[in-house]
Amino acid sequence: MAPVLEGLCKYESLIDGTLGLEDIALMNDALAVRADNQAAARRILEQQNGPKYRHP
């Protein structure tokens, strides 16, 4: 469902066979890579500038 929630495809495309399992896997991989890259960028910024939000 992640590709649908992210707006990469419509739910109907999943259930009507327009998209195959390979398509869904590629989209899931791309979303995972994006999340990993964003997390890495946040870690680098925190190392350079300190955490944006500190827990009490």
For residue 11, how many C-alpha atoms fall within 13 Å in the half-sphere facing its CB? Answer: 2
Burial 12-33 (b: 16+ CB within 10 A, else e): eebeeeebeeeebeebeeeeee
Q: What is the pLDDT of residues 7-42, one digit of tens each?
A: 999 999 999 999 999 999 999 999 999 999 999 999
Question: With bands split at pLDDT 50, 70 and 90, how would you rate the model's confidence at 50?
Answer: confident
The reported pTM is: 0.79
Residue 36 has a pLDDT of: 98
Radius of gyration of the chain (CA): 17
Residue 56 has a pLDDT of: 56
Residue 53 has a pLDDT of: 61
Nearest to 21 by CA among 39, 6, 9, 36: 9
Residue 51 has a pLDDT of: 67
Residue 49 has a pLDDT of: 86
